[in-house]
Structure 1
Amino acid sequence: MKALITGATLGISIVAAAPSFAQASFDWKKHQGETINLMLNNLSWTQAIRKEFDKFTEKTGIKLRVEAFSEEQYRARLSTLMQAKSSDIDVYMTLPSREAALFEKSGWYADLGPLLKDTTSPDYAYDDFAKGPRDSGVVEGKVTSIPLNVEGPLFYWRKDLFEKCGLQKPEYLEDLPDVAAKLKACDSSIIPWAARGLRGTVGYSLGGFIYNMGGDFMTSDGKATLCLPGTIKGLQLYGDLLRNYGPPGATNHTFTQVMDLLGQGRVAMTNESSNEFPTLMRRPEREKDIVVDVLPKSRETGISKPIVINQGISISNYSSKKEAAWYFIQWATGKEVQGILADAGIAPSRTSVFSSPSFAKWAEESRPRQEWVKALLQISETGVSLYQTPTLTRTPEAREILSNVVQQIVLGQADAKAAACAVTEQVQALQP
C-alpha cells in the first residue's frame, strides 16, 4: 500500500511549481483576543476539524464562533448573507467546481494573494498543495480559496449481499441493471441501487455515467449540450437505475440520504462521495461488508472517466477581520492539521501528507481504507472536474437543467433523448 501513496501517482500534477509565499518570521499571537466567525458546510471535513478547534485558540488566542449547516441550508444561508454584504461571516467553505467563477464575479471572495505574500508562516508551503486542487481556487490569477481535500464519487457495494446472491462485482457499467435485478429477486428487503436525485445535486454522481458511456457536456466545437448520443445513454442508464431499483422518494435524495441508507445496510450499490467514507466506517458492520472501488467502465466504449474535485476554504470579501481569518485558514490547511485529519479519513490536498508514512500506515489498518486510497488515486489520475454544461458563472442553473432531465426519466415523464434534447437551447444559452 505504501507504494501507492506517492506524490508522483496522485495524477493531478502535484509537484508543479507554485509561487512561494512566506515571511521570515511570524507571530501566531498577533490577533490574540479577537473572535472570527466561521460558516461551514457540515461535511466530514467539518466534523473532523471541529474536534481540533481548541488547539487553534490555544495557538493563536483567536476565538472561533462557528455555524455549521446541512448543504442545502448552508448554501441558502451563505447566499443570503453574501448578497446582503454582511460582515457576520469571516471564513466559509466553497466548492470551486460549482461556484468559483460566480462567487468571484459577485465579489464574494477576498483576494488571498496579498495575505499569502505578506502574512504567511515560513513553514506553510503553498506549493505543497496538489496542482489541480490548488488551481481550482485561482480565478483569473486571483487566489480565492485554499484546497481542503481531494474527493470524488466512488462505487460502494456490499460484498456480503453479492456473495449471498451468487453475484460478482459488475465489470462494466452496462451490467448494473442486470445485477440490480438479480439482487432484487434474491432479497426483496434490499434496495439494489441508490443515488442522488434531488434537483441541483445530480451532476456529481451522474458525470461518470455520461463520460464512461462516451458522452460529454459539450460538442466538439465547444457548444454546451446534453443531446449527444453517449450523454443520452448515460442519462438513460442513471435514470432507469433510480426508477427501477432505487429507494422510494429518490428524486428528493442527495448524499445525506443515500449514505444514510447505505450505512443502515439497506442498499447494495451506490456511486457516492469519497468524503462520506469516514462516516460510513463508523458503523462496524459496514467496515466488514462494504467494498470501495471506482465506477465500472463502459463495455461499449472502454472509458473510465470519473469525477474528481475538492472543497476549498475562503475569506469573505466583506469581513473586517481578514488577517485573523487568514491565520485560521493557514492553521486549518497546514501540514500538521491535514495530517491529523488524514488519520480521520479526510483525503489530504497536500502532497507531503498524502505521501506520508503515517497516512500509508493508517490506510494499511483495514481493507476498506486501502480500497478507498487506491480508488482516490485512480480518480485523481483519470478524472475531470466538469460535471454539468460548461459555464463560467451560471453553474447552478446548469445543474438545475441537468437534474430536471434526470427527474423526468425517473418519474417516467420522458425518455432521456426527449428530455435532454428538448433543453439544448437552454443549456447553450448559459454559455458566455
Structure 2
Amino acid sequence: MKNQINRRTVLQASAGATALSAVPTVFGQAGFDWKRYSGQTIEVHLIKSPRGELLQKHQKEFEDMTGIKVGAEQVPEQQSRQKTVIEFNSGKTSFDVVHLSYHVQKSQFAKGKWMEDLRPLIASGAPADFDVKDFSAGGMFYATQADGRIDSLPFNLDPWILYWNKELFAAKGVAYPKNFAEIMAAAKKLHDPATGVVGFVGRGLKNANVPLWTGFFLGYGGQFFDANGKLATETPEAIASATMYRDLLKNTGPAGVAGYNWNEAQSLFLQGKAAMWIDGSGFAPPLEDASKSKVKGKVGYGVMPPGPKAQVSATFGDGIGVSAYTNKKGPAWYYIMWATGKAMQARMLATGSGAPVRLSAYSNAEAIANLTVPPEWLTAVAESLKIARPGLPIIEPVTEFRDTYGIALNNMLTGNDVGAELKKATTEFAPVLAKAS
C-alpha cells in the first residue's frame, strides 16, 4: 500500500512533537487563565465509544488543570439520541456539554438551535495556540451550520475501511481486492462454511445496515439526490449497489446476518471466523488486544477499493458542543477546548480510537511512535480521508432515512426483490423528506 508509515519514518519526524503523557504548552500559555472557573462543576454527555472512553480516562488531567469538576456519562448511541432530543425539546438539559453524531444530529440540532454558537468564544476565549486552522476542512464542514454558526467543534472523522484477515487470505492465495468485483470474488473464494469461516461480515440489522450499503452506492457513482433535488435511490446505481450488498451478506455472510450490528460483526471477526469486514476505522484497538482477539497481528487494514465509477470512503463524524440551555457556558467551553485540543487528538491517533480532525496529529512524531495499533491502520485512515465523502445525506430526517432504507435492505436479505424494495422505500421516504424541507 502506498505511503506506508514505518518506524524509520517515525524516528526521522520532527523532534519537537507534543508529549502524549504531559499537558502540552497550550495549556500553560502565558496570558490565558485555565483556573478562571475553578470550583465549578459541569456535566458531560458522551456517546459510548472509544473516544468517550479516552476522554473519561484522561478526565483528571482536565480537572487538575482547571479546578473544574466533571461528571461524565457514556450512553450507547441509540439511547443517546433519544435522551438528547427529549432534553433539548424540554428546554432544559441535565448536561452542559454534549457529544453528537454529525451524520445523524447535525441538521436536527441546527433547526432547534440547541447548541451555543462558539464563534465568539473561539475569537475571544481561547489561547492563540488552540489554532482552529489546525482542524481539517472536512471536520469544520461538519461543525459549521448552513447559516455560518459553528455550534460544535469536530472531534473525530470516521472513514470506513476494509478489515481483512491476512492469514485466511494467504491460506487460499487470495490478494487484497483491487475493486468491487474482486471484493465479491474474494468473499466467495474465502467463504468456507464447513470450517465456520465466512467470506464477508457486515451490518445487516435495519437502520445500522444503511451505511454499509451507501458506501457501495457512492462507489457505483450514486447520488442521494438528482439535479432537481429529488431522491435518486431507485436508480441503476442504487440497484447495483444494493444487489452487491445483498449478495455479499446473503451468499458469503454468516447465518442470521440480518440481525447483525457492528458488535456482532466485530465479534465474529475477532474470533478469526470472517475473512473481510467493512466498518468504521475506530475498531482497531480490540482487534490488536490479545485478551480479546484471536486475530492480533493477523489483521490487514485497507482503503476501500474503487467501485465502477468512484473510489470513496463513506465517512461519518462526531463533535462536541455546549448546550444552549446551560448557565455554565464558560467552564463547558474550557472542557471542549481540552477535549478537542492537540494533546487529546494525538492520544486518539496513538490508540487507534478514531481518526483525528486536527492535521497536526498526523505529523506528531510521538503519537506515531506510540501507536498501539499497526502503522498500516494509520496509513489506511490517512488515505481514506483523501477520498472521504459523507456516507449519509445531510438532512434533518436522517434517522427516518436509515429506518426506511434499512427495512428495505433487511427485506432483501430475506429474499425480497432489490428493485421493488428500493422503489417502495423511495416512495415512502419522499413525503417525510418533503415535510422536513
Give the structure-1-normalised TM-score.
0.88
Q: 1:152 to 1:128 in 2, by over 3 A?
A: same
Instruction: Check if 1:181 corresponds to 2:183.
Output: no
Displacement of 1:2 after TM fit?
5.3
Residue in 1 that maps onto 2:149: 142
Task: State the one-letter code of the partner of 1:92.
Answer: V
Residue in 2 that maps onto 1:18: none
How is 1:30-45 mapped onto 2 (pairs within 5 angstroms)? 30-45=36-51
Displacement of 1:124 after TM fit?
1.0
Residue in 2 that maps onto 1:348: 356
Instruction: Check if 1:415 corresponds to 2:422.
Output: no
Whether the 8 Å contact between 2:347 and 2:367 is mirrored in structure 1 is no
Whether the 8 Å contact between 1:207 and 1:306 is mirrored in structure 2 is no
SS at match of 1:310: strand
- Provide the C-alpha distance between the structure 2 equivalents of 1:373 and 1:216, rounded to a whole number of angstroms: 29
Give a deviation string over 1:384-428, Cα, whole Å, max 9, x none: 11x34x45321111111221221110111x221111122333333
Match of 1:54 among 50, 54, 60: 60
Residue in 1 that maps onto 2:375: 370
- Provide the C-alpha distance between the structure 2 equivalents of 1:253 and 1:321, rounded to a whole number of angstroms: 41
Instruction: Check if 1:287 corresponds to 2:287.
Output: no
Whether the 8 Å contact between 1:240 and 1:409 is mirrored in structure 2 is no
Q: 1:383 to 1:347 in 2, by over 3 A?
A: closer
Whether the 8 Å contact between 2:349 and 2:367 is mirrored in structure 1 is yes
SS at match of 2:255: coil
- Provide the C-alpha distance between the structure 1 equivalents of 2:111 and 2:30, rounded to a whole number of angstroms: 34
Instruction: Check if 1:129 corresponds to 2:135.
Output: yes
SS at match of 1:201: coil
Residue in 1 that maps onto 2:92: 86
Match of 1:384 among 368, 373, 389: 389
Residue in 1 that maps onto 2:369: 361
Whether the 8 Å contact between 2:192 and 2:199 is mirrored in structure 1 is no
Whether the 8 Å contact between 1:225 and 1:428 is mirrored in structure 2 is no
Q: 1:203 to 1:24 in 2, by over 3 A?
A: farther
Give a deviation string over 1:27-62, Cα, whole Å, max 9, x none: 111111111111111111112222111111000111
Instruction: Check if 1:239 corresponds to 2:246.
Output: yes
Displacement of 1:340 after TM fit?
2.5
Whether the 8 Å contact between 1:216 and 1:228 is mirrored in structure 2 is no
Question: How many residues are matched?
Answer: 407
Comparing 56-65 with 222-231, greater Cα deviation is found at: 222-231
Instruction: Check if 1:110 corresponds to 2:113.
Output: no
SS at match of 2:156: coil
- Provide the C-alpha distance between the structure 1 equivalents of 2:193 and 2:407, rounded to a whole number of angstroms: 32
- Provide the C-alpha distance between the structure 1 equivalents of 2:366 and 2:189, rounded to a whole number of angstroms: 41
Displacement of 1:202 after TM fit?
2.2
Comparing 375-384 with 169-178, greater Cα deviation is found at: 169-178
Give a deviation string over 1:215-259, Cα, whole Å, max 9, x none: 222224332121110111101111222222323333333222222
- Provide the C-alpha distance between the structure 2 equivalents of 1:425 and 1:185, rounded to a whole number of angstroms: 39
- Provide the C-alpha distance between the structure 2 equivalents of 1:246 and 1:268, rounded to a whole number of angstroms: 10
Residue in 1 that maps onto 2:330: 323
Comparing 326-335 with 248-257, greater Cα deviation is found at: 248-257
How is 1:245-260 mapped onto 2 (pairs within 5 angstroms)? 245-260=252-267
Residue in 2 that maps onto 1:270: 277
Task: State the one-letter code of the partner of 1:379.
Answer: S
- Provide the C-alpha distance between the structure 2 equivalents of 1:219 and 1:341, rounded to a whole number of angstroms: 37
Q: 1:79 to 1:251 in 2, by over 3 A?
A: farther
Comparing 375-384 with 327-336, greater Cα deviation is found at: 375-384
Whether the 8 Å contact between 2:134 and 2:360 is mirrored in structure 1 is yes
Residue in 2 that maps onto 1:406: 409
Task: Give the unaligned 5+ runs of structure 1.
Answer: 6-22
- Provide the C-alpha distance between the structure 2 equivalents of 1:117 and 1:373, rounded to a whole number of angstroms: 33
Whether the 8 Å contact between 2:96 and 2:323 is mirrored in structure 1 is yes
% of aligned pairs identical? 27
- Provide the C-alpha distance between the structure 2 equivalents of 1:28 and 1:321, rounded to a whole number of angstroms: 15
Match of 1:214 among 221, 242, 245: 221
Instruction: Check if 1:226 corresponds to 2:233.
Output: yes
Give a deviation string over 1:341-387, Cα, whole Å, max 9, x none: 32212322111122222234345x8xx632222222222111211x3
Comparing 276-285 with 265-274, greater Cα deviation is found at: 276-285
- Provide the C-alpha distance between the structure 2 equivalents of 1:223 and 1:255, rounded to a whole number of angstroms: 31
Match of 1:67 among 69, 73, 95: 73
Match of 1:309 among 291, 316, 319: 316
SS at match of 1:308: strand
Task: State the one-letter code of the partner of 1:406.
Answer: L
- Provide the C-alpha distance between the structure 2 equivalents of 1:252 and 1:65, rounded to a whole number of angstroms: 35
Comparing 398-407 with 420-429, greater Cα deviation is found at: 420-429
Give a deviation string over 1:60-83, Cα, whole Å, max 9, x none: 111111111222222222222222
Q: 1:185 to 1:280 in 2, by over 3 A?
A: closer
Instruction: Check if 1:98 corresponds to 2:104.
Output: yes
Whether the 8 Å contact between 1:308 and 1:383 is mirrored in structure 2 is yes
Residue in 2 that maps onto 1:425: 427
Displacement of 1:186 after TM fit?
7.1
SS at match of 1:242: helix
Give the structure-2-normalised TM-score.
0.87
Task: State the one-letter code of the partner of 2:44.
Answer: L
How is 1:156-171 mapped onto 2 (pairs within 5 angstroms)? 156-171=163-178
